[in-house]
């Protein structure tokens, strides 16, 4: 296989948001700078959400100003409401992300409302964002399994993806939150969604809890997905998803893709430097196999 895949580095937001200890603003900034230096072009740099619920992201505005998000169209920020959108626009990000689920039980626990209510809430936000020249990604979590309600059918993901596209999201990130699925279930979701949404608009967002992350990313790429979310060092774990460990590690994914002849534009050694930085300055030891093999 040839071609290229765009890595969306989610470590600075999805990876750090659940960290149990405080993280210095300077360390967040340093991490983003190292990721840029490694060639990362798209990155989730933070979120404007409740600082009470997610205190690690409270300094996102400061971080964005320091890392020059205003001049980086690849920088993305998660928001939950109109107040967050105002902050994003004030700090000059060109892409926002909104977050819902394919399971109502998960949506209720995670964002405090049903899927339908979340979509109603997002619609005016997306409209305002687009009018301001801000692109929107829609996250759909729990695409195969929900920690509260069990298995999720591919057919439950399709209407959420369609609604997000119809309201103006340019990209849908399919989140396999619990890291339980094997490739055949990933394939079933992608095929179901891609029958209604252009596959170019899909991103794969997988976790490595059961060791299936690399195989699942490869399955998605084999099927034509060309955008993959990953977190440097395998950072992460969802605070609202019991048992979910980190995102697939960016370095494992870059190693896979380069080995498969697929370009990412990212320098693996630079990525490992960024992973090492997490350990050195934030006390978060990288858990990826490639890091252990090369720097362990």
Residues that bind a copy of itself (CB under 8 A): 1, 179, 181-185, 208-212, 214-215, 218, 243, 245, 249, 252, 255-256, 259-261, 288-290, 292-293
- Rounded distance, CA 280 to CA 65, Å? 24
Minimum CB distance to a copy of itself, residue 280 (Å): 22
Q: Do 73 and 93 touch, CB atoms closer than 8 A?
A: no
Which of 19, 146, 169, 238 does the annotation list as catalytic? 238
DSSP structure class, residue 140: E
Minimum CB distance to a copy of itself, residue 270 (Å): 17
Q: Quick check: helix, strand or coil at residue 43?
A: strand
Residues 6+ apart with CB under 8 A from 169: 98, 126, 136, 137, 138
Residue nearer to a copy of itself on the CB measure, 59 or 252: 252
Minimum CB distance to a copy of itself, residue 187 (Å): 10
Minimum CB distance to a copy of itself, residue 283 (Å): 20
Minimum CB distance to a copy of itself, residue 277 (Å): 20
Q: Do 158 and 193 touch, CB atoms closer than 8 A?
A: yes
Q: Do 179 and 140 touch, CB atoms closer than 8 A?
A: no
- Residue of 139, 60, 142 lying closest to 93 (CA atoms): 60
Residue nearer to a copy of itself on the CB measure, 117 or 188: 188
Q: Do 80 and 50 touch, CB atoms closer than 8 A?
A: yes
Query: Nearest 5°: CA angle at 172, between 167 and 173?
Result: 145
Q: Quick check: helix, strand or coil at residue 22?
A: coil
Q: Do 98 and 79 touch, CB atoms closer than 8 A?
A: yes
Active-site annotation holds for 184: no
Known catalytic residues?
238
């Amino acid at each position: 296989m040839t071609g290229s895949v765009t890595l969306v580095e989610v470590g600075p937001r999805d990876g750090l948001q659940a960290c149990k200890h405080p993280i210095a603003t300077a360390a967040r900034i340093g991490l983003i700078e190292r990721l840029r230096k490694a060639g990362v072009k798209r990155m989730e740099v933070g979120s404007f959400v409740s600082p009470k619920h997610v205190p690690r992201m409270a300094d996102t505005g400061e971080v964005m100003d320091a890392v020059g998000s205003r001049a980086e169209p690849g920088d993305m920020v998660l928001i939950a409401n109109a107040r967050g959108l105002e902050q994003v626009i004030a700090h000059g990000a060109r892409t926002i992300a909104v977050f819902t689920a394919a399971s109502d039980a998960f949506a209720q626990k995670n964002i405090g409302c049903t899927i339908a209510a979340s979509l109603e809430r997002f619609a005016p936000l997306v409209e305002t964002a687009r009018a301001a020249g801000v692109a929107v990604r829609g996250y759909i979590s729990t695409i195969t399994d929900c920690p509260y309600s069990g298995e999720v059918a591919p057919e439950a993901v399709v209407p959420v993806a369609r609604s997000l596209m119809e309201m103006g999201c340019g990209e849908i990130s399919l989140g396999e939150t619990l890291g339980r699925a094997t490739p055949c279930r990933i394939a079933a979701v992608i095929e179901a969604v891609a029958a209604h949404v252009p596959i170019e608009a899909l991103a794969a967002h997988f976790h490595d809890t059961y060791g299936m992350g690399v195989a699942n990313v490869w399955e998605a790429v084999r099927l034509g997905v060309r955008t993959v979310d990953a977190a440097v060092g395998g950072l992460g774990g969802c605070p609202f998803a019991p048992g979910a460990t980190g995102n697939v590690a960016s370095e494992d994914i870059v190693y896979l893709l380069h080995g498969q002849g697929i370009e990412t534009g990212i320098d693996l050694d630079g990525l490992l430097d960024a992973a090492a930085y997490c350990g050195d300055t934030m006390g978060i030891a990288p858990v990826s196999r490639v890091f252990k093999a090369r720097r362990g």
